[in-house]
A and B are shown apart, each in its own frame.
Chain A
Amino acid sequence: MNFLAYGVAGWICIVGLYGAIVSKNLIHLALCLTVIQSSTYVLLLSVGYRHHGTAPIYKGIRLGTNTVDPIVQSLALTDIVISVTVIALILALALDVHKKLGTADPDEVVELQG
């Protein structure tokens, strides 16, 4: 159990990368990126976990109570917003490609090469 959470993070990252490499559709590709991104949430949150720790909100608990790390939570929050916005941009690009080309297959978008 000691390293399961970290292993999960690594696994999600690798699976997401595989999906992105063989993706047949730009929207699918964008979702694969969110999969990779979620590996970073799992990593950050599991890194800051402490056994029997509660949420770091001092309403109803005394100062000095064993809590999980608040920093990684705020990093994950920032991370979520960043991810959502980047994905929104990529989806907008995917829509434009589809409008132009009639397909969102990344292997067919080969206007520039060589």
Chain B
Amino acid sequence: MTRRQIRGTIAIPVLGALGAFLYWGLSGLPPFGNYHGFYGHMVSILSLPQRHVTNAVTATVFDYRGFDTMGEEFILFAAVTGVVLLLRKSGEDEEGPPEDTVTSDALRLFGLLALAGGVLVGLWLAAYGLVTPGGGFQGGVAIASGFVLLYLTGSYLAFARRTSESALDPLEAVGAAGYVVVGLAALIAGLPFLANLLGPGKPGTLVSGGSLGFINWAVALEVAAANTILYKEFLEQYIVPIARGRKS
């Protein structure tokens, strides 16, 4: 038996026991659908009157538990920094990307439209995050995936040029910094960190929620930039070896 097979053989009974233990604990939960926790209930009934935000999940993410989200945003920021660090070129000579331009005009036109569509959907998701399902995170991801279409229906070069690091890195960092700045601004004004500095706004509109809106847009910016950088880093790993293979 290989080492892996031995491991698998030992793992089955052990995992069986662990599973039994887990289920033993899980069976102490209230029956499915009968949850009556106070915390969620409070936030549900408070978010509209207190914060003029109709989406209680967004109110939780950006306000009641907004500090978690600041940490989460920095997790994304740190991971992107980490990926760039780990995938940095180790002194090897750089070669140009391959000729991979899409020549079908129909496809290119479709790609352009879809890019515009993706960005629009992203902005819409982010903008209406306080009102309906959505928010900065979701919007940011949609915007970033729009840019991937540049690669899919255009060329790697087109994608790489429009997503240059010198432009994206600052955008990402500004998004991350924005969150902290909103928090610190409240602190400087003598309020608790991340407290709302502006009026609560009109419920059900784009300007509801006060400083929540700023946080939402800072997150959208950070997430869009961070995801685009991630796509770019991984695409580069995929594309450059192909180019090298073709030349040799």
Contacts and interface: CB of A to CB of B under 8 A. Distances in A.
Give chain A's interface residue range (CB within 8 Å of chain B).
Answer: 35 or more
Q: Which applies to chain B's interface (DSSP): helix, strand, loop or mixed?
A: helix
Contacts, number: 158
Contacts of B83: 88-89, 92
Contact of B32 (A18, A22, A49): A49
Interface of B: 3-4, 7-8, 11-12, 15, 18-19, 22-23, 26-27, 29, 31-37, 39-41, 43-45, 47-49, 54-57, 59-61, 65, 68-69, 72, 75-76, 78-80, 82-83, 86-87, 131-133, 137, 204, 230, 233-234, 237
Q: Which of B27, B40, B79 has the most CB of A within 10 A?
A: B40
A6 B36 CA distance: 17
Given A9-B26, A21-B7, A96-B86, A81 B35 contact: no
Nearest to B25: A10
A70 B60 contact: yes
A112 interface: no
B26 A3 contact: yes
B40 to A, nearest CB: 3
Interface of A: 1-7, 9-11, 13-14, 17-18, 21-22, 24, 43, 46-51, 55-59, 63-64, 67, 69-74, 77-78, 81-82, 85-86, 88-89, 91-93, 95-96, 107
